[in-house]
Amino acid sequence: MKKKALILLFILGGIIMAFSINGQLQKAAEEKRNREYEVSLVEALKNSYRDIQEIEIDSSGYSVPPGDWSCFIKLTFSDGEVVQYGLGHSLSDTINRSGVVNTAESEILSSHFGSTGGNVRVIFSDGKESVE
C-alpha cells in the first residue's frame, strides 16, 4: 500500500512539474513576442515624430487569441512637451501615428510630425531601459 501511495505521489509531482515548466515556457515566449512588438513600435514612432527624447511603454498586451497588440505610451519630446495615449501596433507598421488622443494631444503630435534620427531613451513595459 505504501508503495502505491509513493508511486501516486511521484506521478502527481511529475504532472505538477510539467504544468509549471509549460507555464514558464509560455510566459517566456510571450515576453519575447512582446519585446518584438515594443522594439517595432519604437522604430515606427521614431519614423513618425521628430525630436523624441524618451518613449515609455506601459500596459502592453495581446488580444486572445494573439493577433492584436496594444499599449499605452508616453512620449517626451526635446522641447519638453509630453503626450500619453493608448495605441495599437502591428509588426508590419513602419510609421505609427494612430492612437486615442484628445485635441490638445493631437496638436502636440501633429507639430512633431517627421522622424527622429538619433538615439532615444526607451523604458519598456517590463521596466528595462535601453537606448534605441
Q: Tell me the pLDDT tens digit for each residue of 4-51.
A: 766 766 676 666 665 566 556 667 777 888 899 999 999 999 999 999
Query: 68-73: long-range contacts at Cβ-Cβ below 8 A with a sequence spacing of 24 or more?
Result: 69/34, 69/37, 71/38, 71/41, 71/125, 73/41, 73/45, 73/99
Tell me what pLDDT residue 102 has: 95
What stretch of H or E contains 122? strand 121-123
Indicate whether 76 pLDDT > 60.
yes
Q: Which residue has the cell 507598421?
A: 93
Return d(Cα 70, Cα 1) in angstroms, integer.
55
Length of the chain: 132
Q: At 59, which helix (H) or strand (E)?
A: strand 52-62
Question: Measured between alpha carbons, how far is 132 from 124 in angstroms, rounded to an integer?
Answer: 11
Q: Which amino acid is at 75?
A: L
pLDDT tier at 63, thresholds 50, 70, 90: low
Which helix (H) or strand (E) segment is 69 a member of? strand 69-77
Average pLDDT for the chain: 86
Is the confidence at residue 109, as pLDDT, over 90? Answer: yes
pTM: 0.80
Mean pLDDT is lowest, of 2-16, 57-71, 96-110, for 2-16
Average pLDDT over residues 90-104: 93
* Stretch 112-132: mean pLDDT: 95
Confidence label for 85 from pLDDT (cuts 50, 70 and 90): very high
